[in-house]
Amino acid sequence: MKSVFIIYNQANTERVEYMLDMLEIRGFTMFEQVQGRGTNNGEPRRGTHTWPEMNSAIITVIPDDKLHELLEAVRKLDMRNPEVGVRAFVWNIEQTV
Partner 1 sequence: MAIYKSAIEKPITTALIFVAVIVIGIFCYLQLPIDQFPEMDPPYITVMTTYPGASASEMETNVTKIMENALNSVDHLKHITSQSKDNISMVTLELEWGSNIDEAVNDVRSFVDMTRNNLPDNCGTPIIFKLSTSAMPICQYSITADETYAGLDKILNDEVVPQLNHIDGIGNISLSGAPDRYVYINLDQQKLDAYGLTLEQVGQVVSANNLNLSSGTVKMPQEQYQMQVRSEYIESSEIENLMVTMTPQGQQVFIRDIATVKDTIKDLSLDEKTNGREAVRLIIAKQTGANTVEVCREVRKELAQIQQQLPTDVKIEKIYDSSENIQNSINSLEESVLYALLFVVLVVLFFLGKWRATIIIGITIPIALIVAFIYLKVADSSINIISLCSLTIAIGMVVDDAIVVLENITRHVERGEDPHEAAIYATNEVWVSVIATTLVLVAVFVPLTMLTGMAGIMFHELGWIVTVVCCTSTLVAISLTPMLSSKLLKAKKVHVDADGNLIDDEKGKRSWYDRTVVRFLDIVDHYYARSLGWCLNHKVATFLILIAFFVASLIPVFMGKIGTDFMQQQDNGRLSVSVKLQRGTRIEETLKTARRLEARFVELVPEIELINTSAGSNDDASIAAMFSSTMNNKISMTVRLPKKWQRDRSIWEIAEVLRQEMARYPEIIEYQCNVAGGMGGGSGNTVDLEIYGYDFDRTSQLAEQSRQLISALPGARDVNISREDDRPDIKITVDKEKASRLGLSSATISTYLRNRVSGMACGYLKDDGSEYDIVVRLDEEDRNSISDITDLTIPTATGKTVKLSEVAQVGEYWAPPTIERKSRQRIVTVKVTPYETSLGELAQAIQAQVIPQLDIPVGYSTHIGGNYETQQDTFRDMILLAALIILLVFITMASQFESLLKPFIIMFTVPFALSGVVIALWLTGRSLDMIGALGLVLLVGIVVKNGIVLVDYINLMRERGYALNDAIQMSGESRIRPVLMTAFTTILGMIPMAVSSGEGAEMWQPLGIVVIGGLTVSTFLTLYVVPVLYGAMSKRGERDKQKKLREKFIFLNIKVKDNQ
| Site residues for partner 1 per CB under 8 A | 10-15, 49-54, 79-81, 83-84
Nearer Cβ to partner 1 (10/60): 10
The Cβ of residue 88 has, within 10 Å, a number of other Cβ atoms equal to 20
CA distance linking residue 3 with residue 44, whole number of Å: 25
Question: Mapping DSSP to helix (H, G, I), strand (E, B) and coil, where does residue 95 land?
Answer: coil
Q: Are 59 and 96 in contact (CB under 8 A)?
A: no
Q: How far apart are CB 56 and partner 1 at their closest, in Å?
A: 11
Q: Which residues pair with 90 in a beta bridge?
A: 4
Q: How far apart are CB 76 and partner 1 at their closest, in Å?
A: 9
Nearer Cβ to partner 1 (55/62): 55
Q: How far apart are CB 51 and partner 1 at their closest, in Å?
A: 7
